[in-house]
Structure 1
Amino acid sequence: MSQPNDAPLAKDDEGLPFPDVRDVPATSPLRWLARGFSDLRACPIPSLFYGFCFAGMGLLITFVFEHAYEYTSALTSGFLLLGPFLAMGLYEISRRHERAEGCALGPTLTVWRRNAGNIGLFAVVLGIVFLIWARASLVVFALFYTNEMPNLSGFLEQVLKMENLEFLAVYFGVGLLFAGIVFAVSVVSIPLMLDRNQDAITAMLASVAALARNPAAMLVWALVIVCVTVLGFLTFHVGLVVLMPLIGHATWHAYRDLVGPLPSQG
């Protein structure tokens, strides 16, 4: 069971112990989703605001790069790699709802100021991963398409007809590698930095520890995120309006379950 943290936020990261990472059952992601849905219902307007932002960015990327899908796929995938950072406002909505502080959108828009330095460092790390993945994505396309890059319809046709299994295997294999790295360092990173003013390095190490201690639950959680994201894409990003806020709120509750309270708060 997660334990609410009702104590004031730490003013700095000096003296903070390494987070107490806990073991959770493999079925925990289902509970996180249920709690996330409860937050979404309790705070629909600010939550859906972020959902529209996710959907709008996805639609814009697809529209602008319709005839150069090698860029669309890289940017869309990179968009997902940066998801933990973009969902920061959703974590804050859940935190405020937990503390009965209301569902105002305004305070969530600048929540990064609470721990700007460490959150900025984490954003740089994700940004570097995104740039490397974008370059790797283009290289994969160049290896398999020496004459002309496919447009959106051509790419989808090949995926649906499975005419190029080598390309699909390599492309999604490389993407899975980068997604796994991001997932490992971001399971609880930003919620931890927001909630305790934790430093970025410790927060990322705690995320890796959570993954190492709970491989079954983390595998289920990763599959849930992938399935929900694919479902959102299959609706031409419209489904992301609801699905991304759901995942964002659920991530906050994952943090609550995976990381124990500070000793003074237990």
Structure 2
Amino acid sequence: MDAQPDPPVGPPAPSPSAFELPLQRLAPADPLRWLARGWRDFLRCPGIGLFYGTCFAGMGWALLLVFRHAPAWTLALSAGFLLVGPFLCLGLYEASRVLERGEHPDLGSSLLAWEHSIGTMAIFGGVLLILEMLWGRASLIVFAVSFEGMPDFQGSIRQLLAAEHLEFLVAYVAVGSLFAGLIFAVSVVAIPMILDRQVDAITAALTSLRLVLTQPFVMLCWGALITALVVLAMLPWFLGLLVVGPVLGHASWHAYRTAVPAQ
């Protein structure tokens, strides 16, 4: 009896587009659950977490050292943590992904997590960098039109707290909120998705944007929680970033896993 020929094999099914990927319905308590899982991952691989936390804090210390006579730059570039945070946390996403598989992550693998999607990561990272530079420039403009020259660091704190500079505070917060909201919307799950699914930057960004637009309350709560923790971590000379930075990195991976179900 002759063997039946194998059925013809067609091309692989195309990956769903950014508008076709299913998104999980989120609960208001999910941000706290993500934070708890991030803390758990930090405790499971503290060495990796502290390495990245030291990098975050070291960047803050460098800003204070280099720009101690130009507080506007320090404030503007400190705000950049909120912009490039998802990209800098790439190694932490990889560590959480490895832990999810029941394996033990190592620092070397986390540092090379970008190598499988180097082109896409470079494009997305470049966009984040450009937005950070625009935010920094906009912050400098706000300082320039609000003060006569750049005050010293202590002077700037006194002036920021003065009632007559309420307009400056409103303008600075408005500019920061605009840039932070934009970058949050397009990146909240984008980079973990690029790492996990090897999708292109546009698909990842549109999926992230769709998540924020379809579930604004939960994602607003998540963004507010991230912002509050980062700001508090920066206050004691950036020391809080030693722990807060890696915990938020791990938590962001779990936010992606919850919001975008596994294939």
Please give the TM-score of this superposition, normalised by the length of structure 1: 0.90
Which one of the candidate residues 52, 58, 64 is aligned to 1:62?
64
| Aligned counterpart, 1:118 | 120
Shift of 1:236: 1.2
8 Å CA contact retained: 2:76, 2:139: yes
> Larger relative contact order (C-alpha < 8 A, sep ≥ 6)?
1
Q: Which amino acid aligns with 2:236?
A: T
| Aligned counterpart, 2:160 | 159
Shift of 1:103: 2.3
Q: Per-residue CA shift, 1:131-174, capped at 9, x if unaligned?
A: 211111111111112x3211211122223444410001001110
Which one of the candidate residues 92, 99, 102 is aligned to 1:100?
102
| Aligned counterpart, 2:220 | 219
Aligned residues: 249
8 Å CA contact retained: 1:231, 1:239: yes
Distance in 2 (CA, whole Å) between partners of 1:124 and 1:234 is: 28
Structure 2 unaligned segments of length 5 or more: list them.
1-11
Map residues 191-202 of structure 1 onto 2, 5 A cutoff.
191-202=192-203
| Worse overlay, 161-170 or 192-201 | 161-170
Distance in 2 (CA, whole Å) between partners of 1:109 and 1:194 is: 13
Is 1:203 aligned to 2:196, yes or no?
no
| Aligned counterpart, 2:82 | 80
Distance in 2 (CA, whole Å) between partners of 1:15 and 1:116 is: 22
| Aligned alpha-carbon RMSD (Å) | 1.4
| Aligned counterpart, 1:127 | 129
The verdict on how the C-alpha distance between 1:14 and 1:246 changes in structure 2, with shifts beyond 3 A counting, is farther
Q: Which amino acid aligns with 1:85?
A: F
| Aligned counterpart, 1:16 | 15
Q: Secondary structure at the match of 1:198?
A: coil
Distance in 1 (CA, whole Å) between partners of 2:168 and 2:161 is: 13
Distance in 1 (CA, whole Å) between partners of 2:78 and 2:112 is: 25
Which one of the candidate residues 18, 30, 37 is aligned to 1:35?
37
| Worse overlay, 37-46 or 150-159 | 150-159
Is 1:150 aligned to 2:151, yes or no?
yes
Q: Per-residue CA shift, 1:29-79, capped at 9, x if unaligned?
A: 010011111100111000111011000101110121011011111111123
8 Å CA contact retained: 1:47, 1:93: no
Q: Which amino acid aligns with 2:116?
A: R
| Aligned counterpart, 1:241 | 242
* Structure number with larger C-alpha Rg: 2
| Worse overlay, 153-162 or 135-144 | 153-162
| Aligned counterpart, 1:186 | 187
Distance in 1 (CA, whole Å) between partners of 2:122 and 2:245 is: 22
Shift of 1:197: 0.4
| Aligned counterpart, 1:8 | none
Distance in 1 (CA, whole Å) between partners of 2:142 and 2:13 is: 44
Structure 1 unaligned segments of length 5 or more: list them.
1-12
